[in-house]
Amino acid sequence: MAAAGKNKRTQPHWAPPQGTAQPKLCLYNSLTRNKDVFQPQNGNQVKWYCCGPTVYDASHMGHARSYISFDILRRVLKDYFKYDVFYCMNITDIDDKIIKRARQNYLFEQYMEQRPSATQLLENVKLASMHFSAKLEETSDPDKKQMLERMQKSVRAALEPLENGLQKNLSEGEVNKYAETLLQEAKDTLSEWLDTKLGSQVTDNSIFSKLPKFWEEEYHKDMAALNVLSPDVLTRVSEYVPEIVDFVQKIVDNGYGYVSNGSVYFDTLKFDASEKHTYAKLVPEAVGDQKALQEGEGDLSISVDRLNEKRSPNDFALWKSSKPGEPSWDSPWGKGRPGWHIECSAMAGSILGDSMDIHGGGFDLRFPHHDNELAQSEAYFDNDHWVRYFLHTGHLTIAGCKMSKSLKNFITIKDALKQHTARQLRLAFLMHSWKDTLDYSKNTMESAIQYEKFISEFFLNVKDILRGPADVTSQYEKWENQEIELNKSFYDKKKAVHEALCDNIDTRTVLEELRSLVSQCNSYIAAKKTSRQMPNRMLLENISIYLTHIFKVFGAIESEEAIGFPVGRNAHALNLESTVMPYLHVLSEFREGVRQIAKGKKVLEVLQLCDSLRDDILPEHGVRFEDHEGLPTVVKLVDRDTLLKEREEKEKVLHFILQIIFIHLILIIHHLYLS
């Protein structure tokens, strides 16, 4: 028995390691106001609808806040978590704002074609100003009132010189100069007045399509400049009018819509009374907010007649009967046009069906726009789960102040890109939570610029190390404690990055973890240089490839480079480094040889020539040479503008130091003279 027991083979015991479960991706869901575990409805596929722009003017940084943020979220879901994202976005090209702006532009152009005299212009502006003053008196919103008062003040300031010039019979040239200034300042005031007088006479539908076509094209250019991915499907309201009519008809058939005087309204009370449905799921506390509801209906739709058409003041328009001066389409209820909210429901429903995983938009769209979308879509599909996750990006302020196109307090994307690169703007967004308010200010952008510079310098240093002479076996040098510790930190940081991305895609924490990792790498490189040892090439390369991958996921790197930020602002720079670096190294080695000969023979002029090449000539071509005593020259290919700014800052510091030295010399001479 003993022998048998001795020969018996025992089954090895195995148990999975404890505490190794991976975190799950959670997203802040405006429907629940919680971070919910993200679970798509159909396996790995994610159906996503995003509210696009109303195209009647230039895109601004408020648009960038939403579209860059959603671009980052979309890229992370697609390229990091490997979801199959199907992204649909709309363009609103039928809207009260568009109709009014198109009419005003058309009428102002007609007015200018009549070539009004200075006297006629003066009289017209005075009449328009009286109309404007009445509008100002009716305005209760303090921010809007302040903006209108500024406009009024500007018009009055421009009106007075023209009036005085005409009274004093100044020359035609001087009078025309004052008239031109008045036209520029009073354009909005005049356009509003002309629209009030003549707007109802504008009947050509093409007038209302020209404006949005132009601004949609500009919007797409801005998005391309910001490296925002194009949607998989783009829908325009003007192309979906038949589908919208059918959508409205079914809501009426289902008992949640009613016809009134040629318009169709959604019956919020009947919908909310249904056991299956709830109105205003996102912001129930906003129900009855007439200011928000009226803004949702549009400037052209607020009138006593329109309000009297509703059964309840909370009801909203699905279809609006067109008044004179508005575009119109045929419908079972007569000539009319779509309401604002219905467009998204009809277009998203046509493409994504009766339920989607994600619906995105700006924070200010929650009520009434998205709440109304939810209600009418669930009334149409007869369900209570049209959207699973609602994602809303935070507001954008400008230096702490509210940003608003209607308040004329905004910065266009084109103007922002004149000051900063697309990568710098994206880094600024990445340094803040996508759902919180972001303040676009000098301090915000300076933080982003310094972060970019910090990471870029690391990439440049690693590239220089990797370009050094090495054979295959040198890549596999023995790891000492420094390498082991850095590698452990590398994997700890990768874990922390993953946890941050799972936690509502927390890019702010990710960037801080990457900064910390780079700081440790810099310390490691410095320690190796101090001990006259080469840093481990493979370890630094692996870390750099990972960092590059994360920045590519975030959309901060457009090119296919394995390591680092591409040099320059355009596609021609993509292969610049691999092309010119061999020549720069030859130049660097030649310069180093000349410097060594000059040092030995003490030829000052040759050394000065070498320094001039480093400090004056090469920066103009985007090249930085860094001299380190006892070590080979470090060669870096850097954006030219960055190098020129660095040189300018050094010159300012040097000039300041020389001033201090000069002042001290004067004080010393003065002291010696007195003594």
> Phi/psi of residue 330, each to 5°?
-70, 145
DSSP state of 60: B
Which pLDDT belongs to residue 431? 98
Co-location of 401 and 477 in the same domain:
no
Which pLDDT belongs to residue 405? 65
Co-location of 281 and 155 in the same domain:
no
Co-location of 262 and 303 in the same domain:
yes
35 in Cβ contact with 25 (< 8 Å): no
Co-location of 280 and 415 in the same domain:
yes
Q: How far apart are the first and last CA of the chain?
A: 113
Co-location of 43 and 148 in the same domain:
no
Which pLDDT belongs to residue 16? 83
Q: Give the CATH number of the domain where residue 243 resides.
A: 3.40.50.620
Which pLDDT belongs to residue 571? 41
Rounded Cα distance, 52 and 663, in Å: 60
Which residue segment(s) compose the domain that 334 sits in? Answer: 26-92+232-431
Co-location of 275 and 383 in the same domain:
yes
Name the domain count of the chain: 3
DSSP state of 566: P
What number of other Cβ atoms are within 10 A of residue 213's Cβ? 13
Span 580-639, pLDDT tens digits: 666 566 566 666 677 676 676 666 766 677 677 778 777 777 778 787 776 777 877 777
Co-location of 388 and 256 in the same domain:
yes
Name the nearest CA neighbour of 306 among 289, 323, 291. Answer: 323
Residue with tokens 């009445």: 134
Co-location of 383 and 488 in the same domain:
no
Last residue of a domain, one of 566, 592, 623: 566
Last residue of a domain, one of 534, 549, 566: 566
Does 589 fall in a domain?
A: no
Last residue of a domain, one of 431, 466, 485: 431
Does 309 fall in a domain?
A: yes
Co-location of 340 and 252 in the same domain:
yes
Does 655 fall in a domain?
A: no
Residue with tokens 């009716």: 138
Does 653 fall in a domain?
A: no
Which pLDDT belongs to residue 4? 52
What number of other Cβ atoms are within 10 A of residue 596's Cβ? 10
Q: Among positive and negative, which fits the CA dihedral 428, 431, 433, 439?
A: negative
Rounded Cα distance, 584 and 563, in Å: 19
105 in Cβ contact with 210 (< 8 Å): no
Does 594 fall in a domain?
A: no
Rounded Cα distance, 494 and 516, in Å: 12
Q: Collect the ranges in the chain with pLDDT lower than 70.
A: 1-9, 303-306, 405-408, 469-472, 474, 568-592, 595, 597-598, 600-603, 605-607, 610, 630, 675
Does 640 fall in a domain?
A: no
Rounded Cα distance, 203 and 82, in Å: 50
Co-location of 406 and 321 in the same domain:
yes
Does 294 fall in a domain?
A: yes
Co-location of 299 and 387 in the same domain:
yes
Does 605 fall in a domain?
A: no
Co-location of 272 and 371 in the same domain:
yes
Which pLDDT belongs to residue 316? 95
